[in-house]
Structure 1
Amino acid sequence: MTKVLFVCLGNICRSPMAEGLMKKYNEEQRLGLVIDSAATSRWEVGNPPYAGTQEILKRENIDFSGMYARQIQPKDFEEFDWIIGMDHQNVKDLMRLAPSGTEEKIHLYMEVVPGKEEQEVPDPWYTDNFEETYQMLSEGLSLWGEKFGSYS
């Protein structure tokens, strides 16, 4: 079973939104994935998704009642097949934290979207544009789904 971990700085905006959207897509497409999210920092550990992310997830009929921010742990690099950062700093931090031999699991979210491979998913904590974040995450959903589905 393929395991996917979405990562952002605080695990209250982008990565829980990505987690929720991919869980819904996973269920609809019957991909059989295990999906979670985490933070590179410990600033928000224990907090639920931020209000703007909650609004998007509610709109999409995604249950987030069990989502609470957590910091990535060394065992995550061993347990997950894909570790997907939302921006270049997340990827840089993940590479720094990754145990030797696990770096190939780390990817930038938008790298699967043709013509947008180097784009970052902006942090709506700073932009206050949760809709933009939603749109960008939605662009990558089926593309990541195909990648995960072909991974064995």
Structure 2
Amino acid sequence: MTKILFVCMGNICRSPMAEAIFRDHFEKEHKSAFQVDSAGTSRWEVGNPPHRGTKKMLSRHGISTQGMRARQIEQQDFYDADYIIGMDRENVEDLAAMAPEGTEQKVYLYLDRTPGMEGQGIPDPWYTGDFDQTYDLIQAGLPYWLTFFEE
């Protein structure tokens, strides 16, 4: 089973949105070979549900956030996950600093797979308030990640 972990700072906006979108896709396509999760680099929001903006955006698209709770990434995640995908450059830098030796190659920047968006981060809607932009950027990268995972 391929294990994918999306990571942002608090695990209430971007990474749970990516988790829910990818999980929804895999369920609809009956692709049980993929397990999707999310986490935050900080512990500020541990135990909290996704941000109301994330929930509202996903609900609008018929995607559930039921049962999702923020958690902080743990060292074991670096061993368990096949792909650890940071939503912006700061997340990737934090992940690279946390990664146990021999796991650094699992860390990716989300938009690096999206042609023309390489090196860009997904802005944090906690600060921008733009959950539409977050959703659109995650959707823009979805087909490229799916191709990458299936290679």
Q: Which TM-score bucket, shorter chain as reference?
A: over 0.9
Instruction: Tell me the alpha carbon deviations over residues 85-142 of structure 1, each in whole angstroms, 9 at most, x when there is no partner.
Output: 0000000000010000000000000000011111110000000000001000000111
| Post-superposition offset of 1:28 | 2.6
| Post-superposition offset of 1:30 | 3.1
Give the letter for the 2:34 counterpart: L
Instruction: Tell me the distance in 1 between the aligned counterparts of 2:106 and 2:70.
Output: 21
Instruction: Tell me the distance in 1 between the aligned counterparts of 2:137 and 2:28.
Output: 19
Instruction: Tell me the distance in 1 between the aligned counterparts of 2:101 and 2:87.
Output: 22
Structure 1 unaligned blocks of 5 or more: none
For residue 16 of structure 2, give the secondary structure of its aligned residue in structure 1.
helix
8 Å contact from structure 1 (residues 10, 39) kept in 2: yes
RMSD of aligned alpha carbons: 0.8
| Post-superposition offset of 1:17 | 0.2
- Give % identity: 53
The alignment covers a number of residue pairs equal to: 150
Give the letter for the 1:123 counterpart: D
Which 4+ runs in 1 deviate beyond 3 A? none
Correspondence 1:5 to 2:13: no
For residue 144 of structure 1, give the secondary structure of its aligned residue in structure 2.
helix
Instruction: Tell me the alpha carbon deviations over residues 17-55 of structure 1, each in whole angstroms, 9 at most, x when there is no partner.
Output: 000000111123333210000000000000000000001
Match of 1:33? Answer: 34
- Return the TM-score normalized by structure 1: 0.96
- Return the TM-score normalized by structure 2: 0.97
Instruction: Tell me the distance in 2 between the aligned counterparts of 1:25 and 1:134.
Output: 14
Give the letter for the 1:33 counterpart: F
